[in-house]
Amino acid sequence: MDETTTALIELGAVFFILGMLGRVAGRFGMSPIPLYLLGGLAFGSGGVVPLGTTTDFSHLASEIGVVLLLLLLGLEYTASELMTGLRRSWLAGLVDVVLNATPGVIVALVLGWGPVGALILAGVTYISSSGIVAKVLTDMGRLGNRETPVVLSILVLEDLAMAAYLPILTAILAGVGLLGGLQALVIAMFVLAVVIIVALRYGHFVSSIVDSADKEVFLLKLLGAALLVAGFASALQVSAAVGAFLLGIAISGSTANNAAKLLEPLRDLFAAMFFVVFGLNTDPASIPPVLAYAVLLAVVTTITKVATGWWAAKRQGVGRMGRARAGTALVARGEFSIVIAGLAVSAGAADGNLAALATAYVLLMAVVGPTTARLIEPFMRWIGGVGGAQAGGQSVPTR
């Protein structure tokens, strides 16, 4: 068979298998991300059936997946929501950084990966998966709960932190040094400030430019604008992902809602390819040597995320059950952690074992996060019942 025929067969098989994996994940009420990563491990070097001719397309599709992931994340927020979240929960955001980035720094230094490796792994362990968290809150009917605004505020602050972190990381991975990283940070913060101002005052103009009653025209303008902005952002070393996120923030109102609905299937398709490609770049044989560290990080950062959510919800006057729900909702890691590790691997600036550690860690956390979120309520009721029995048969209030 010629190369095109082989590529079509391989790509068709990959998409079909991804669809089956997604169906399995949906049946068990879990995120499909771990299964997509496992699929990538199976198709990559050292896997069961290594791919041959679809590598170039897969890598381009994965880059588009990152852009769409961040674009739709930006569409979920307005500039005013970002500013309100920043004012209300900045201290919780600071606690979040300290508690959850520190374990990654320590493990990277222990493994001898140096300051760059520490910076990379700090981001991997710090950032929660907005996609998984949003799905958990929706599936469990918690969007109207009192603790949910606390969870969303922390997610917003994490996204803002990424807007500063990714340009610095991109610059350092490119080898421009600390000064170049600071320059990238200044540019990113300037761009972020401009976007927020434009979104607050002239967001309806940005929305009107991309909006259209014709779905085909709307999709073409949206996708074209996202790729253009991402490309220019990458040229400025601001990170293509951040550029797409900022575009999403600038689009508001009904245009943002319609754009999210229109782009969701495309995002899921290309995002699936992104996770597969990350798995393709990871040799399954490199995971066992770092598995113990991945498990250790999973245990420690589960505790630190729960502590973050608990503390933040307590400051807002939320009861014990709500604090527990807030903490466990934040546990899952996913797309952003893989984006960070993927940037490092593609730049060739990270130890080969780092990708393996990140893969194993995200596999664990993408399963542990939704599981703990589902089990926390019966666990807290059991704890309350035990406490009530010890106190003379009266249960301890949990709300």
Least confident of 47-51, 109-113, 393-397: 393-397
Per-residue pLDDT band at 55 (split at 50, 70, 90): low
- What is the rounded CA–CA span in Å between residue 42 and residue 24? 17
Q: Does residue 298 have a pLDDT over 90?
A: yes
Please, what is the average pLDDT of the chain?
A: 80
Q: Where are the domains of the chain?
A: 12-49+67-376
Percent of the chain surpassing pLDDT 90: 18
Percent of the chain surpassing pLDDT 70: 82
pLDDT higher at 159 or 373: 373
- What is the rounded CA–CA span in Å between residue 29 and residue 35? 13
Can you give the pLDDT at residue 44? 66
Per-residue pLDDT tens over the stretch 170-192: 777 777 666 766 776 677 677 76
Average pLDDT over residues 352-378: 86
**Residue (of 314, 332, 287, 372) closest to 126 by Cα position:** 332
The answer to whether residues 72 and 150 touch, using CB atoms and an 8 Å cutoff, is no
Per-residue pLDDT tens over the stretch 256-275: 888 888 888 888 888 787 77
Per CATH, which fold does 12-49+67-376 belong to?
Answer: Na+/H+ antiporter like fold (1.20.1530)
**Residue (of 168, 174, 367, 362) closest to 282 by Cα position:** 362
Per-residue pLDDT band at 45 (split at 50, 70, 90): low
Which value, in Å, is the radius of gyration of the alpha carbons in the chain? 21
DSSP 251-293: --HHHHHHHHHHHHHHHHHHHHHHHHHHHHTS-GGGSHHHHHH
Cα→Cα distances 100→289, 365, 366, Å: 23, 13, 16
Residue with tokens 């809602």: 257
pLDDT higher at 195 or 259: 259
Least confident of 116-120, 210-214, 267-271: 267-271
What's the pTM value of the predicted model, to 2 decimals? 0.72
- What is the rounded CA–CA span in Å between residue 21 and residue 36? 7
Per-residue pLDDT tens over the stretch 7-35: 788 788 888 888 888 888 878 767 677 78
Average pLDDT over residues 114-143: 84
- What is the rounded CA–CA span in Å between residue 41 and residue 297? 21
Per-residue pLDDT tens over the stretch 271-297: 787 777 767 767 777 788 899 999 999
